Structure 1
Amino acid sequence: EGGNTFTPEDTSTQGIPLVPVIGNVHRIALPIKEQATAEVTLTWDDPSSSLGLVVKGGSGQQVERGSRSVTVTVPWAKRDLAVQVVPSQVGSESVSYTVTAVLTSLTADADGDGVPDVADACRTKKGPASSGGCPDSDRDGVLDLRDACPRAAGRSLSGCPGTADEKVVAFLDGKQVSSSSVMTRHGRYDVSGSVPASRGTHTLKVVWYDGGKVVTSVTRTVTVR
């Protein structure tokens, strides 16, 4: 929108510089058909002018500025980008600019988790994009690479469970036979396991504790043949 030329009226009134109004910002849509690294470069012809470049969409952007150029690199673009050219200062009758974009398709994904290697902090272990491609095996909010207890959910910064944390404990005929740390504050948490038992009829009780208090419990009579 707006062509590729700015005049002093786009940034000033009677020679007094003002903040560019929304209507004077030129907008360019940059479609992204597949995951890519995007390098967007703005150049202009007038050395007495100064233009700005804004690229909306994509995190971890890197900006490099020259005397008459600005380059914004988006390491991982997953959706269309919105490019804006801002007339910060027009020092002559007009300034013309050119915007170029280079897209490099991202195909390398060593662990096959859908997060390309260029943006994956854990390239050999599968994890969601929301955590930078790193796993959180016990789903306690502490990523495995920083979790001292990656298989046991805990509320501490180390990721390890404490005595007051949530846990599910199984009792067979009144004797504790298993205990599993859980973390339900992030949503549903499924627990499974096995309990050794001899043949005969037994009483199995499963108790959910949180902060040392019983949340709920279930008791069943089971028969092992």
Structure 2
Amino acid sequence: METYLPSDWSTWDAAAGAVTFRVPRSYLTAAKVTAPYDVFALTSYRSPSHMWTVVADDRAPDKGGVGVAAPDGTAQAPATTGTSTTTSGGTGSGSLLNPVVLERPGGNTFMVTDSTLGVTGGPVHTFSLDVPETSTVELLMSWPDASDLDMWVTGAASGSAATAGQPERLVLEDVRGSLDIAVDPYLVVGVPSTTYTLQATIVPSGPVDGETPVDTDGDGVADGDDACPDVPAAGSSGCPVPSDETVTVYVDGVEVGSQDVESSNGPDAFAVDVVVPAGSHEVRTVWTQDDEVLATDVRNVVHTAPGTDRDGDGVLDASDNCVQQPNADQADLDRDARGDACDNDIDGDGHANAKERQHGTDPYDAASYPRKKGGTGLLG
């Protein structure tokens, strides 16, 4: 579970720099949390000494068969101190919150003679860190003496930590891809050498602008928020919801079909197949919710029976490109499936026949049409 806890469930020991949470058994039971389980806490408080703290410690015995205490014989997790420390009890360890320690095959050690004093081309150590999903990455580098080591990052994100003190800490947000990390031994004073520790803490932050969340069932609800990720549905939770809306179709006042729709999570689509006899008919579509009419659409449609030739030109309506104007030749100059006899732009030049006749251009010639001033032709 992930939730904000009431303030009386925690105590803060400022001197020890520790927060202790006491989670009631009733909450764990209601949330169906059973042992073994991990407990972790995130803090937005950022300083060189504390960022993330992860603790798993369940010491209280079960009462009443709740089943949430750690199994018998499980050792209490050790206390956590310092920066980016991680301990885990039970199972489920290996979270991205666990720091990744970056080490070179030859070790993370610089000799006094490796000091670069800012001159490029010296013995810089390089590392590569892969961040598979958009995350916040904290890089922390520390060493035991007064040496001055600097850190530079390029690749999927860029930044640097090059202060005169230590530890060096760099936080990069919305990172996805490969990071190239370089450690520069600006000044090494350890005798005869200085060994540093470099660790990365990766915290997934979810999709950023421009990235598309995964939506397996394509219902518009991202998998992370979808309670039914494999079932496309219009509900805001990603699951089907009971419908109280209906679209009904009437032909000449007689109901011929209906379909349930759901618009509580945005527009819905519907398709109602209707068969009408030959002739002219009124088709009425009514959208209702709990028997209250929300909208009505009325159309007058004409259904031509096979074999009808309304304009009497010898071409049946089913094949006639002008069903109301006689045109036995079926001439169609611009081949737009509308016969010249009923086409208001016979040559298909974008200018109506009446306009062309008004300006003296040829409605049967696509190269002849009204033109604007300054062109080669008539004024349109």
Q: Structure 2 length normalisation: TM-score?
A: 0.29
Structure label with greater radius of gyration: 2
Report 1 or 2 for greater relative contact order, CA contacts < 8 Å, sequence distance ≥ 6. Answer: 1
Q: Structure 1 length normalisation: TM-score?
A: 0.45
Per residue, is there more strand in 1 or in 2?
A: 1
